[in-house]
Amino acid sequence: MLARVIGVLSGIVTLFAFLYGETGSNITLTPWKIGLITVFCISILGYLALEAYEYYRSRPITTKTDVDFHAFMARWLDHPGKVAILSANLSWGDPKIVLPKLEKKAASGDLLLIMEKPSALSRALESKGATVKYYQAIGYVPQSRFTVVRFRSPHGKVAVGWPRAERPGRLLTLWTGNIPDTMAHQC
């Protein structure tokens, strides 16, 4: 983003250098120069507004408290479409806030769980329609956890969580757009 903003600023400098070169130090504003400046300024404002919107849409989000985390996950799981979750044991799922969302996704067949080993919760969600895969047999425990909403969709989003000791917050939204689903697809 910084490179694009620098590009816009260099365009502004180029425009004023062009106008200065045309008339020397005495800039005479003719109608076509006023039109050129107007179009250029509108383009710059539109571009900067688009950049701000894109940043806002894909900005990293870190939750600092459990209440914020559960509220975020409840909103996150409300996204339409499939959800894929890689978690050791789903201990982050608040029974009053997050669990009903997981049950709803399971009932509609839109929940894929990838967990270390079976648990009472994973079995309950599987009985309600969730697809559950376990990774304990491969002997590798991932350091982070993730949740993909709109799984296998060009509008997917990924939230990645780390243990609190490694990072100050609880989770971070990292990617939006067409999410590679290699790991979840191969499980």
> For the CA atoms of the chain, what is the radius of gyration?
24
Enclosing domain of residue 99: 66-186
Q: Which residues of the chain have pLDDT under 70?
A: 1-2, 19-27, 143-147, 149-150, 152-156, 161-187
Q: How many independent structural domains does the chain possess?
A: 2
* Statement to judge: residues 73 and 35 lie in one domain: no
Cα–Cα–Cα angle for 166, 115, 111, nearest 5°? 110
The predicted pLDDT at position 181 comes to 47
d(C-alpha 9, C-alpha 15), whole Å: 10
d(C-alpha 41, C-alpha 39), whole Å: 6
Do the beta carbons of residue 63 and residue 72 sit within 8 Å?
yes
pLDDT in tens, 99-129: 888 999 999 999 999 888 898 889 999 999 9
Assigned token pair, 143: 């350091």
- Picking from 14, 38, 58, the residue at the C-terminal end of a domain is 58
* Statement to judge: residues 22 and 95 lie in one domain: no
* Statement to judge: residues 54 and 79 lie in one domain: no
The predicted pLDDT at position 132 comes to 93
pTM here? Answer: 0.61
d(C-alpha 121, C-alpha 145), whole Å: 17
